[in-house]
Amino acid sequence: MSEAPLQLCVPARAEYLAVIRQALTGVADALEFGVSVLNDMKVAVNEACTNVVVHAYPDETGTLEVGVRPQPEEVAVIVRDNGVGVQARSDPSGGVGFLLISSLSDRFEIRGGGDAGIEVRMVFKLDATPDGELSAIDPDIATRAPAGVVSAGAVFSAVPGPVVGPVISRLIGALATQADLSLDRLSDAQLVGEAISAHVHDYISGDRIQIVLEDAEGRLDMRIGPLAESGSEQLRRDLTLPGADRSLEQLIDKVDTEYEQQNGAETKVEYLRLNFVQS
Amino acid sequence: MHSENISVQHENGVAVVLLEGEHDVYTAPAVTGKIEACLSEGHPVVVDLTRASFIDSSILRALIVGRNGSQDRSLGFAVCLDQNEDSAVKRVFEVAGAQELFPVLSTQTEAIDAVLSAGNGSA
């Protein structure tokens, strides 16, 4: 079993639905699929996520996980939670939510039961393809534990590739808006996020990037890693604009490197932590 | 996704509840509240979705609650939305069959006219 190539974990709260829709828009930006596919995807995924927000965690806070597997002809999206089972839930829209999921996705399935939470798996074709038997939804995705948990913000985990930058840019935009950062500070954070996305694959330790974005009133924090030894320093060097003496680091209020031991004490990895504050 | 994306204007005695940007279960309670407040004041209501870029089933539910409230008070109720083929809002209306639930017009002016011409309680 493996994680989806792109995975997003947010608190299961209504204000994060817009953040998820922005992440899907970032996927569409990168893959250049049409607005009609994106619109259908956003509505269907939003309905699955709304069910989680409204019903999955009646007595506690919990997380909402969205996995995305882009492929040349279709995109699979999995919405997953660890809340109450399917029998304890009803569609808050009186059935319209699942009507929208079934109508707007090309195929979908619901997995789970008992108290194990549920998964809603949806596939969206990127182009009109000839009719034929639909293949099963790949079971080998989004089946691991959430990539991380934050009380306010998003944990984005991905295999390096061209989709990472656009998704990060959209996530930063959505969370900076939520944090009430000015457009200037939002733009600063997006510039830095895009630059980091362009270079981070050279320095990661392991095969996935994890970017944690935490928002609070008037501030946005980013944590990027795990990075190989001296990866943080190298990444900061890559923030220097080509042919100029200026570095994008000037746009960041605070830059730190954190260290963490992995695999017992055998491996030391680094995380680059950035803070953007509304002045 | 802030409350300032829901506003109310009055036109010829009709309350126009204008939704801009994206609306979902986060803003649905505010949408329901605005519609209910207008009906409580005795105004027929037009919900203008022409500037909304996204709605979900919870907003459809808010519209149905508003329609029911208008019928209880014998006040008019109508919706207007962008009829462009690429409109995500129109797509949701079509798939959910929401056009059968209340009058759906293309512009705010048409929706206000529909509410006024129908008199009390029918639009």
Band of residue A10 on the pLDDT scale cut at 50, 70, 90: very high
Among A30-34, A125-129, A187-191, A249-253, the least confident range = A125-129
DSSP B102: S
**pLDDT single digits (tens) A196-244:** 999 998 999 988 999 999 999 999 999 998 999 999 999 999 988 777 6
Which band of pLDDT confidence, cut at 50, 70 and 90, is reported for residue A2? low
pLDDT band at A8 (very low <50, low <70, confident <90, very high): very high
- Average pLDDT on A160-174 reads 93
Report the residue of A96, A102, A181 to disrupt the B interface, i.e. the one with the largest count of B CBs within 10 Å.
A96
Q: What average pLDDT does the segment A244-264 reach?
A: 85
> Would the pLDDT of A131 be above 90?
no
pLDDT confidence of residue A136: 52
Using the Cβ of B68 and the Cβ atoms of chain A, whether some distance falls under 8 Å is answered with no
pLDDT for the residue numbered B121: 47
CB–CB contact A42 B54 (8 Å):
yes
The verdict on a CB contact (< 8 Å) between B88 and A42 is yes
- How many residues belong to chain B? 123
Inspect the interface and report whether the beta carbons of B57 and A54 lie closer than 8 Å. Answer: no
Query: Which residues are within 8 A (CB) of A200 and not within 5 positions of it... i.e. 6 or more apart?
Result: A160, A164, A209, A224, A227, A235
Q: Give Cβ neighbours of residue B41 (< 8 Å, ≥ 6 apart).
A: B15
pLDDT tens digits for B28-64?
999 999 999 999 999 999 999 999 999 999 999 999 9
How many CB pairs (< 8 A) connect A and B? 67
Q: How far is CA A27 from CA A8, A33, A54, B48, in A?
A: 12, 9, 26, 30
- Residue A97, pLDDT > 80, answer yes
Predicted pLDDT of residue A83? 87
- Cα–Cα nearest to B102, from B72, B71, B73: B71
Nearest to B96 among A35, A46, A99 (CB): A99
Q: Do the Cβ atoms of A46 and B95 come within 8 Å?
A: no
| Cross-chain Cβ contact A96/B86 below 8 Å | no
| Rounded-to-integer distance, Cα A223 and Cα B104, Å | 47
Peptide bond into B44 cis (omega under 30): no
The three-state DSSP-derived secondary structure of B28-73 is HHHHHHHHHHHHHCCCCEEEEEEEEEECCHHHHHHHHHHHHHHHHC
Find the residue in A nearest to B55 (Cα): A43
Query: Which pLDDT score, from 0 to 100, does residue B85 have?
Result: 82
Q: Which residues of B touch A104 (CB under 8 A)?
A: 91, 95
Q: Which amino acid is at A262?
A: Q
Q: What is the mean pLDDT of residues A56-73?
A: 90
Residue B58 is nearest to which of A21, A40, A92, comparing CB atoms? A92
DSSP codes of every residue in chain A: ----SEEEEEESSGGGHHHHHHHHHHHHHHHT--HHHHHHHHHHHHHHHHHIIIII-SSS--EEEEEEEE-SSEEEEEEEE-SS-GGG---TTTTHHHHHHHHHSSEEEEEE-TTS-EEEEEEEESS-----PPPPPPSSSS-SSPS---SSEEEEEE-SSTTHHHHHHHHHHHHHHHTT--HHHHHHHHHHHHHHHHHGGGTBSSS-EEEEEEEETTEEEEEEEEE-TTHHHHHHHTTBPTTSS-BGGGG-SEEEEEEEEETTTTEEEEEEEEEEE--
Q: Which of B79, B50, B86 is nearest to B63 (CA)?
A: B79
**A-interface mutation test, from B3, B4, B5, B56, most A Cβ less than 10 A away:** B56
pLDDT of residue A96: 87
Residue A274 scores a pLDDT above 60 = yes
User: Which single residue is written with the structure tokens 């390096």?
Assistant: A160
Inter-chain CB proximity A93 and B24 less than 8 Å: no
Write the DSSP symbol of residue B101. T
Which of A10, A13, A16, A17 to mutate: most B Cβ within 10 Å? A17
- Confidence check: pLDDT of A67 > 90: yes
Nearest to A39 among B26, B88, B96 (CB): B88
Neighbour-count burial of A247, counting CB atoms closer than 10 A to its CB (0-12 exposed, 13-18 middle, 19+ buried): middle
The pLDDT, as a whole number, for residue A1 is 42
| Chain mean pLDDT for chain A | 86
Spell out the residues 6+ positions from residue B55 whose beta carbon is closer than 8 angstroms to its own: B19, B22, B23, B24, B49, B88, B89, B92
Residue of B nearest to A51 (CA): B25
Does residue B112 sit in helix, strand or coil? helix
C-beta atoms of B58 and A39 within 8 A: no
Is the pLDDT assigned to residue A278 strictly greater than 50? Answer: yes
Return the C-alpha torsion angle A236, A238, A243, A249, nearest 10. Answer: -30
Residue B79 has pLDDT above 70, yes or no: yes
Minimum distance, in Å, between the CA of residue B4 and any CA atom of chain A: 14
The pLDDT, as a whole number, for residue B1 is: 46
Q: What is the mean pLDDT of residues B63-76?
A: 96
Mean per-residue pLDDT, B3-14 = 88
Q: How far apart are CA A18 and CA A46, in angstroms?
A: 9
Contact status of B73 with chain A (Cβ, < 8 Å)? no
User: Average pLDDT, whole number, for chain B?
Assistant: 92
Helix axes A164-178, A183-199, angle to 10 degrees: 150
pLDDT in tens, B93-117: 999 999 999 999 999 999 999 999 8
**Could you tell me whether strands A209-216 and A118-125 are parallel, antiparallel, or unpaired per DSSP bridges?**
unpaired
